[in-house]
Amino acid sequence: MRALIDYGYALEFYGDLDRELFNPEVGSCYVEREYPDVNFVIDLIHTAKGVAVMAHPAQYDNMELLEELAKKGKIDGVEVGHYSADESYRRQLSAIAEKYGLIETGGSDFHGLYNSVPTHLGSETTTKENLDRILKLAASMK
């Protein structure tokens, strides 16, 4: 869309042309994304000595998957603070995090001009306590 705007074919990132080209049902340029298996990705993160945190589960309605991964001890944390999660959803995420000892993170999901929903850098953050937990866990994996 950036190139189409630069060449004068569109005036905005998420307007009529974007919907015409990239609409999941009828978009002429829409390509279905293929995602790797979540268990493979988590194992890959841990093999690389990383901390596996589920990003914005509210946006993808992944509460059930989060609980499943947490029960199995596969995931280290969950992004509770995200613009897609209302207060009720945040309480549910925090309850799961507390139940399974997960690290709670926050992220503004700021992508500059490329966000479909306006967000502000630093609008969602991770507490110092949880940042310290991330660092401690990462250091223990070395």
Query: pLDDT per residue over 98-122, tens digit each?
Result: 999 999 999 877 666 666 666 777 7
Q: What is the DSSP string of 16-75?
A: HHHHHHH-TTT-TT--------HHHHHHHHHHTT---EE--HHHHT-HHHHHHHHHTT--
DSSP bridge partners of 104: 78
pTM of the model: 0.79
Question: What is the per-residue pLDDT for 115?
Answer: 63
- With CA atoms as reference, report the closest residue to 51 among 26, 69, 28, 77: 77
H/E run at residue 81: strand 77-81
Dihedral sign of CA atoms 103, 84, 3, 122 in order: negative
Domains, in order of start, for the chain: 1-34 (no CATH), 36-140 (3.20.20.140)
Question: What is the per-residue pLDDT for 132?
Answer: 97
Question: What is the per-residue pLDDT for 108?
Answer: 76
Q: Check if the beta carbon of residue 63 is closer than 8 Å to that of residue 57.
A: yes
Query: pLDDT per residue over 61-73, tens digit each?
Result: 888 999 999 999 9
- With CA atoms as reference, report the closest residue to 42 among 74, 66, 79: 74
Q: Mean pLDDT for the chain?
A: 90
